[in-house]
Structure 1
Amino acid sequence: MSSLYQYTVASRFLRYVTIDTQSDPRSNSFPSTEKQKDLGRLLVEELQAAGISDAELDDHGYVYATIPSNTEKDVPVICFCSHMDTAPDCSGTGVKPIVHPRYDGKDIVLPDDPAQVIRLEDHPYLKEKIGDDIITASGTTLLGADDKAGVAIIMDLANYLVMHPEIIHGTIRILFTPDEEVGRGVEKLDMKKLGADVAYTLDAGEAGSLEDENFSADGMIIHFHGIMAHPGSAKGKMVNALKVAGEFLSLLPKEKLAPEVTEGREGFVHPVHISGNAEKATVEFIVRDFDTARLGEHEFLLQHLADEVVLRYPGARSEYQVREQYRNMKEVLQHHPQIVAYAEEAIRRTVGTVRKLPIRGGTDGARLSFMGLPCPNLFTGEMALHSKHEFVSIQDMQRSVDTLVLLVQLWEQGS
């Protein structure tokens, strides 16, 4: 990039995080919260002000925009995608971002709640960021780097390309999505309208990260049915579904197949919600593994344990529901090696080191890949996600902008 260019990514990020865009997993509307459109409207205004005239926000909360091709070559249409919503795990209301210039390697005490301390020992990546300018929240909310860092990076890319028409590239489509954090990010996406051939999400962490594989994921619900009776005359009659569910939960593996004891490529089953009463109790699970075939094995284990417990309570019964959530993008991307190869080359030239790690989670890119749009995930610098300790390096975001500028040129040169 031009050495004279003044990055806009940090100022954009600081502006975007103050807009509350938290999504709601219990909502049946789409987007799950209307306030996500507040950021969408601002992004459209900024894109149009930069000269990207087709920028629009649709009724579902998606932002679409186009940077037209300036080459005579037939280059695949590239989509860059980030999500606008923040996670329901921690408040996103009243975010007050703080810039810590030239980070000195010490623990960062967040001023609005001094009990919230971003400790170097808990976040070893900070050792690599000494001298960088670090942005945090103030201690009472998350920051929103996941994924407003990605949004700001794509917006700065657009700004740079508009200001530098000498950078030769094909058609670029910009996509900002709602509701990624609640697993519905591309549920209402108009793929024909998007019109892209390949895509990259901007939603990974450390500088140099390139993620081309992720968990395959199912949701599983187990209902336990008991027998209700008045507690004053329940002897020999009542079967309490809550107790059945509680005993079932006590049988779940504790040394394996649980998030708190697994890492790397190890899968897990994870109870995320329990509800009900003595007559009926419901336990909701997320089931994860990099090997899609193993999801069925994990779900069979849960069914077996539920059946085993029900046998101990005559009159009780159980039933199961399994819903596919997303699948490992590697199953698609392995057939499109060029998409990852160009990203690796761009990262090597801008960052130096490519960090390829499997995602112990999912992204919009996983679902996009199975919708016909192969889509790995690139770094933004966002760290300590979904928590009050979330932080991002301004320099990491700038390196991400550099990477995208080079990436679009590599696609054009290779076409």
Structure 2
Amino acid sequence: MQHIIDRFISYVTVDTESDASSDTTPSTAKQWDLANQLVDELKAIGLTEVTIDENAYIMATLASNVDHDVPVIGFISHFDTTPDFTGANVKPQIIPNYDGGDIVLNKELNIILSPNYFSDLLQYKGQTLITTDGTTLLGADDKAGITEIVTAMEFLVKNPQIKHGKIRIGFTPDEEIGRGAHKFDVEKFGAECAYTMDGSQIGELEYENFNAAGAKITFKGKSVHPGYAKGKMINSMLIANKFISKLPKEEVPERTRGYEGFFHVHHIKGEIEETVLELIIRDHDKRKFEKRKELLHKITKKINKKFAKQFGEDIVTTEIKDQYYNMKEKVEPVIHIVDIAEQAMKELGIKPLIKPIRGGTDGCQLSYKGLPCPNIFAGGHNFHGKYEYVPVESMQKAVEVIVKIAEITATKK
């Protein structure tokens, strides 16, 4: 257990926060610090073909130890952390034999991780938890996944009696800003399928995710003296508000779950003459996803028609860009790779939790690039904030799942 703890802490204490406003890859220079550390470590544990390219994508190989043909499989995680909350100066706290009560993350700031609010904590009573100190995120998303992959590869190197085919591993930058798979060289990786170790609680196994798009909607207006504005002023902020009011009120993140899709207004900035609204569109169902995009265009057209005479041109412009698609379409034709992961969990006494991802992973983009890529739990909870934690036992189980998948793949006919 201590070996996993030490490895994990050595990763999370390196700041790798990504930056969506940057146009470089990786988006922040500090991601190179952990990337280079990982390259050295992969070589040290005995992997071969260890490479890092100009964009900090890392790949390595564990050679096959069987004399028959075995599909090449891969395991992938990302080393950046979200820009939603600071990842600088992470100070992990170790909570051995968790007693099921409140955990004081920061006494001075009165920050408490409580099972009264985060009920999942009670699943891990008696286990060892790693938490934040209440001032940063932890970085289990996805340094837990990296810890598990490296530890599993090290275990297989040291235990050659466990038979496996060729295994490829990959570590990526910038997943948290949606670019983790953009420059991933699938051909160079050379695997028939892969698994991202990027899920949350123990048992999660996912091969469905949202179809996703982003929309930028610009509203124009006319500014005149408010005392003499009757029939002349057009307030773009009020038009934006009217637009939002036309969206289905119940179809927002805070009121949906499971397979239910949503519209999410996440940014608005405006003044009288121009307001810019940004929102995201999410739905598992491709037909419903397309209808959501159509609705935005219909609302736009209706408002433009209403103001056509007064404004003289389109007062609203809507730009929609697809971001990623549901990997189910690409994974179902090779559903046996999900079956193998499910079998591995069951053989290890883990109850598989097969459910849709209410988001996306590198795996969904990689699946559309020709590398079918379901997602497996990495063990963390409460990602992207100060209440993030990970049970060490969950990381240990994830290591065992990786090893078991490799073993089953080598023996399955």
How high is the TM-score relative to the length of structure 2? 0.94
Using the TM superposition, name which of 372-381 and 109-118 deviates more.
109-118
1:330 aligns with 2:325: no
Q: Please list the CA deviations of residues 309-355 of structure 1 after superposition, one character each: whole Å capped at 9, or x if unmatched.
A: 44554316111211111111111111112101110010011133111
Q: SS of 1:202's equivalent?
A: strand
CA distance change for structure 1 residues 199 and 112 in 2, over 3 Å: closer, same or farther? farther
CA distance in 1, matches of 2:2, 2:284: 37
* Count of aligned pairs between the two proteins: 409
Q: SS of 2:141's equivalent?
A: helix
CA distance in 2, matches of 1:117, 1:302: 41
CA distance change for structure 1 residues 208 and 128 in 2, over 3 Å: closer, same or farther? same
RMSD between superposed Cα atoms in Å = 1.8
Name the amino acid aligned to 2:85. C
CA distance in 2, matches of 1:252, 1:117: 37
CA distance change for structure 1 residues 79 and 242 in 2, over 3 Å: closer, same or farther? same
Q: Please list the CA deviations of residues 64-121 of structure 1 after superposition, one character each: whole Å capped at 9, or x if unmatched.
A: 1111111111111111000111111111111100110000000111126543221112
CA distance in 2, matches of 1:351, 1:124: 23
1:278 aligns with 2:272: yes
Q: SS of 2:106's equivalent?
A: coil
Match of 2:368 among 370, 373, 378: 370
Give 5+ residue unaligned stretches, structure 2: none
Using the TM superposition, name which of 320-329 and 230-239 deviates more.
230-239
CA distance in 2, matches of 1:124, 1:335: 37
CA distance in 2, matches of 1:226, 1:74: 66
Query: In the alignment, which residue of structure 2 is the partner of 1:104?
Result: 99
Q: Give the 5 Å matches for 1:3-402.
A: 8-111=3-106, 114-228=109-223, 236-254=231-249, 256-311=250-305, 313=307, 314-315=310-311, 317-402=315-400
CA distance in 2, matches of 1:311, 1:35: 50
Q: Report the CA distance between 1:11 and its aligned residue.
A: 1.3
Q: Report the CA distance between 1:304 and its aligned residue.
A: 2.8
CA distance change for structure 1 residues 374 and 269 in 2, over 3 Å: closer, same or farther? same
Using the TM superposition, name which of 305-314 and 319-328 deviates more.
305-314
Q: Report the CA distance between 1:279 and its aligned residue.
A: 2.8
Give 5+ residue unaligned stretches, structure 1: 1-5
- Indicate if the aligned counterparts of 2:136 and 2:385 stay in contact, CA closer than 8 A: yes
Q: SS of 1:55's equivalent?
A: strand
CA distance in 2, matches of 1:246, 1:88: 28
Q: SS of 1:334's equivalent?
A: helix
Name the amino acid aligned to 2:364. A
Name the amino acid aligned to 1:406. K
- Indicate if the aligned counterparts of 1:133 and 1:395 stay in contact, CA closer than 8 A: yes
CA distance in 2, matches of 1:275, 1:224: 11
CA distance in 1, matches of 2:108, 2:248: 36
CA distance change for structure 1 residues 56 and 231 in 2, over 3 Å: closer, same or farther? farther
Query: In the alignment, which residue of structure 2 is the partner of 1:3?
Result: none
CA distance in 2, matches of 1:69, 1:232: 79
Q: SS of 1:339's equivalent?
A: helix
CA distance in 1, matches of 2:223, 2:26: 39
- Indicate if the aligned counterparts of 1:79 and 1:172 stay in contact, CA closer than 8 A: yes
CA distance in 1, matches of 2:223, 2:190: 55
- Indicate if the aligned counterparts of 2:300 and 2:318 stay in contact, CA closer than 8 A: no
Name the amino acid aligned to 1:334. E
Name the amino acid aligned to 1:385. F
- Indicate if the aligned counterparts of 2:131 and 2:138 stay in contact, CA closer than 8 A: yes
Name the amino acid aligned to 1:396. S
- Indicate if the aligned counterparts of 2:223 and 2:235 stay in contact, CA closer than 8 A: yes
How high is the TM-score relative to the length of structure 1? 0.94
- Indicate if the aligned counterparts of 1:7 and 1:156 stay in contact, CA closer than 8 A: no
Name the amino acid aligned to 1:45. D
- Indicate if the aligned counterparts of 1:207 and 1:351 stay in contact, CA closer than 8 A: no
CA distance in 2, matches of 1:25, 1:285: 16
CA distance in 1, matches of 2:245, 2:110: 33
Q: SS of 2:400's equivalent?
A: helix
CA distance in 2, matches of 1:211, 1:244: 40
CA distance in 1, matches of 2:333, 2:48: 35
Q: Report the CA distance between 1:383 and its aligned residue.
A: 0.5
Q: SS of 2:345's equivalent?
A: helix
Q: Report the CA distance between 1:18 and its aligned residue.
A: 0.6
Using the TM superposition, name which of 309-318 and 208-217 deviates more.
309-318
Name the amino acid aligned to 1:292. K
Q: SS of 2:281's equivalent?
A: strand
